[in-house]
Amino acid sequence: MKFTDGAWRTAEGFDIHPAREVRFIEKLENKVILTIPSFHVYNRGCTLSGPYITCEISSPFENAFHIKTYHFKGDKTCGPSYFRLNDKNACLEVSEDDAELTIESGSARLVIDKENYGYGLWYCGHLITRSCDGALAYINGNNGNYMREQLSLGVGEHVYGLGERFGNFIKNGQSIEIDNQDGGTFTEQAYKNVPFYITDNDLGVFVNHTEKISFEVASENVSKVQFSVPGECLDYYLFAGRSMKDVITLYTKLTGRAPDLPDWSFGLWLSTSFTTDYDEKTVLSFVDGMKERGIDLSVFHFDCFWMKDSHWCNFLWDNEMFPDPKDLIGKLHDRGLMVCVWINPYIAQQSELFDEAAGRGYLIKKTDGSIWQTDLWQAGMGIVDFTNKDAAKWYQSKLKALLDIGVDCFKTDFGERIPTQDVVFADGSDPLRMHNFYAYLYNETVFKLLEMERGKGEAVVFARSATAGCQKFPVHWGGDCHSDYPSMEQTIRGGLSLMLSGFSYWSHDIGGFEDKSTPDVYKRWAAFGLLSSHSRLHGSTSYRVPWNYDEESVDVLRHYVNLKEKLMPYINEAREEACKLGLPVMRPMVLEFQNDLVCAFLDKQYMIGDKVLVAPVFAKDGWVDFYLPEGIWVSPGGHDRRVISSGTYFREKRGYLEMPVYIREE
């Protein structure tokens, strides 16, 4: 949200009260509290009216600062975050002179200007960012009040992250709303909004709010990142380190890290697709067809129509298509496959579960006490209220019945279209703050059930919606994309953006979701998909088995399935770093080669861990541009060895079995 009209004027409808000077300082054992008038106090008469801003500064651990600012402390927007954070508060070293207050945590320090409030964040003597005079402000608006902060950007500094966003990989120049929406992969909306950004000046910023947050990233003011929230409070964290990897490790220490996943999850997943017709015969023909063609499968996924249409979700198999689901699941297990089924948190009015859930108070209600319902997606559907612990247990009980007959994991679809107007949650949560956080509760409910029933290290979901902290409930996939090269490009940008938002694992629909791709796109996307952390064949209106395209697609899919198996030792190394440090398995080039200025801009190639470089092909004619940083790079078969003394671009024509893949030698 923009509050100014150019450099000199305030936008119409707003009145900005910037933090001006530090009037009082209270030093507690693990916290410093600053009282900051929005005006300079020249005499006692100045103190009789006007907004004050309070700023509480603490540190959850070394090299991280927690800054909570507020105008009216008693306002509900100043309540605790819904994130259960590991914020135990480290001891601070505090010193001051007449002009400055210095607060140290590890090798990081905040230097606060007392006369003209603002601060500089430093790490080992290096300036990371500044909050300059007037950057922190309380704002009155015609449609409500806001809190705002602005942090400086250095020359050439680039901003990344803020969730799975499909526009430009570098966020400079963008206005971004943190607001989960079901918008596809070709709009400015996103399924996975994460209020965390990272820069290549080794800065991380996490805005600790679950309601809509507005970011102006070098847009309203091209030398600053501005973030604002409605209400009376702004709560955020700063992280500083030696590298972007350090920053991600600090951020995930606070919000959580991905657990390890079972080996089988890294193999190939095959789906029925969405609106296709399928029954037991169809399913087994796909599985057996893949085996006959020498293509290893790990997981078979049943999408929506394993349940009867108009009844989603009742968690009951359509007995016309699947008269004996337990027997079918057993046949799939006998073939060495795990089984996944599609679910969502919506209960159609036609579902056998609607009356049960409504009668027990398990669905989101309207303010008049009636059930909130909509016809968008399923006729008359309600939404499970996961703030009600009994509702969450009830939902888990329905899923446990599926686990009991052999289902191994769940695709947790949807969770973005959560109402904010005229609704009441069971625990009294603010609907505006619950909108994004609903994805967390939904996926946590399912993931924790799988951990209880299958054991830690064996739990897997395939989730679409997410927010901060959802990296603890992997895996996430990219959502609904078209089936062409521009969509493939959008998809990889979204995934790399998510990987710089604290997430470690990611997947997407090989070949695209909407429509049916050409055989050419399918083959190029298969190469990219099999060298993502997780790999799934899924679509909307057509089957995604390779022989549904052409026979060469069979050869391409088999080749990259086998290549991924050969590269699993490198993927396993990256898995260990994901669990221990929170680093992504699929890494944007800038994360691994931060000192190579070219890598700051690369968003169509990536690393798997720190050793394997992958450059997907995005053209029918097979021409691909890729960049090799300094080092020795060898193709997996060893037939192509390149010694790069300084980073070099290559433009080469590659066949379907020749996507650029290189391993960095030690």
pLDDT confidence band for 473 (50 / 70 / 90): very high
Write the DSSP symbol of residue 260: P
How far apart (Å, rounded) are the C-alpha atoms in residues 623 and 616? 10
pLDDT confidence band for 335 (50 / 70 / 90): very high
- Cβ neighbours of 435 (radius 10 Å): 23
Does domain 4-152 fall under CATH 2.60.40.1760? My reply is yes
Q: What is the mean pLDDT of residues 440-467?
A: 97
- Cβ neighbours of 28 (radius 10 Å): 12
| Percentage, residues of the chain above pLDDT 70 | 100
How far apart (Å, rounded) are the C-alpha atoms in residues 302 and 315? 12
pLDDT confidence band for 57 (50 / 70 / 90): very high
According to DSSP, the residues that pair with 55 across neighbouring strands are 34, 69
According to DSSP, the residues that pair with 655 across neighbouring strands are none
The second-level CATH assignment, the architecture, of 587-664 is: Sandwich (2.60)
pLDDT of residue 662 exceeding 90, the answer is yes
Query: pLDDT value at position 76?
Result: 87
Q: What is the mean pLDDT of residues 152-173?
A: 98
Query: pLDDT value at position 508?
Result: 98
- Cβ neighbours of 542 (radius 10 Å): 17
Query: pLDDT value at position 526?
Result: 98
370 residue type, one letter: S
Q: Where are the alpha helices (DSSP H) in 208-264?
A: 244-255
Query: pLDDT value at position 78?
Result: 85
pLDDT confidence band for 463 (50 / 70 / 90): very high
- Mean pLDDT of all residues in the chain? 97
What's the pLDDT tens digit per position in 239-276?
Answer: 999 999 999 999 999 999 999 999 999 999 999 999 99
Tell me if 628 sits within 8 A of 648, measured CB to CB.
yes
| Percentage, residues of the chain above pLDDT 90 | 96
Query: pLDDT value at position 556?
Result: 98
Query: pLDDT value at position 133?
Result: 87
How far apart (Å, rounded) are the C-alpha atoms in residues 436 and 529? 28
The H or E element that residue 529 is part of is: helix 519-530
How far apart (Å, rounded) are the C-alpha atoms in residues 285 and 464? 28
Tell me if 170 sits within 8 A of 600, measured CB to CB.
yes
264 residue type, one letter: W
What's the pLDDT tens digit per position in 579-633?
Answer: 999 999 999 999 999 999 999 999 999 999 999 999 999 999 999 999 999 999 9
Query: pLDDT value at position 87?
Result: 73
Write the DSSP symbol of residue 370: S
pLDDT of residue 432 exceeding 80, the answer is yes
Query: pLDDT value at position 84?
Result: 75
How far apart (Å, rounded) are the C-alpha atoms in residues 13 and 226? 19
Query: pLDDT value at position 79?
Result: 79
Write the DSSP symbol of residue 466: B
Instruction: Kindly report the backbone phi and psi dihedral angles of residue 293, in degrees, each rounded to the nearest multiple of 5, phi listed first.
Output: -95, 5
- Which candidate, 489, 559, 469, 546, places its Cα nearest to that of 237? 469
Domain ranges of the chain: 4-152, 263-581, 587-664
Query: pLDDT value at position 536?
Result: 98
- Which candidate, 240, 205, 207, 237, places its Cα nearest to that of 66? 237
Helix (H, G, I), strand (E, B) or coil at 271: strand
Polymer length of the chain: 666
Please check whether the two domains, 4-152 and 587-664, share a CATH topology: yes
- For residue 256, what are its two tokens? 């959580």
Residue, of 77 and 225, whose pLDDT is higher? 225
How far apart (Å, rounded) are the C-alpha atoms in residues 559 and 400? 37
How far apart (Å, rounded) are the C-alpha atoms in residues 67 and 118? 13
What's the pLDDT tens digit per position in 72-96?
Answer: 999 988 877 887 777 777 889 999 9
pLDDT confidence band for 560 (50 / 70 / 90): very high
What's the pLDDT tens digit per position in 285-295?
Answer: 999 999 999 99
How far apart (Å, rounded) are the C-alpha atoms in residues 238 and 254? 11
pLDDT of residue 63 exceeding 90, the answer is yes
Cβ contacts of residue 124 below 8 Å, gap of 6+? Answer: 107, 242
pLDDT of residue 490 exceeding 90, the answer is yes
CATH code linked to domain 263-581: 3.20.20.80
According to DSSP, the residues that pair with 397 across neighbouring strands are none
How far apart (Å, rounded) are the C-alpha atoms in residues 44 and 374? 57
pLDDT confidence band for 543 (50 / 70 / 90): very high
Burial letters for 327-362: b for 16+ Cβ neighbours within 10 Å, e otherwise? ebbeebeeeebbbbbbbbbbbbbbbebbeebbeeeb
Q: Please state, in angstroms and as integers, the Cα–Cα distance from residue 149 to each residue in 212, 452, 651, 656, following that order.
A: 15, 42, 44, 49
According to DSSP, the residues that pair with 123 across neighbouring strands are 108, 126
pLDDT confidence band for 16 (50 / 70 / 90): very high
Query: pLDDT value at position 376?
Result: 94
Q: What is the mean pLDDT of residues 430-448?
A: 97
User: Which positions are catalytic?
Assistant: 413, 416, 480
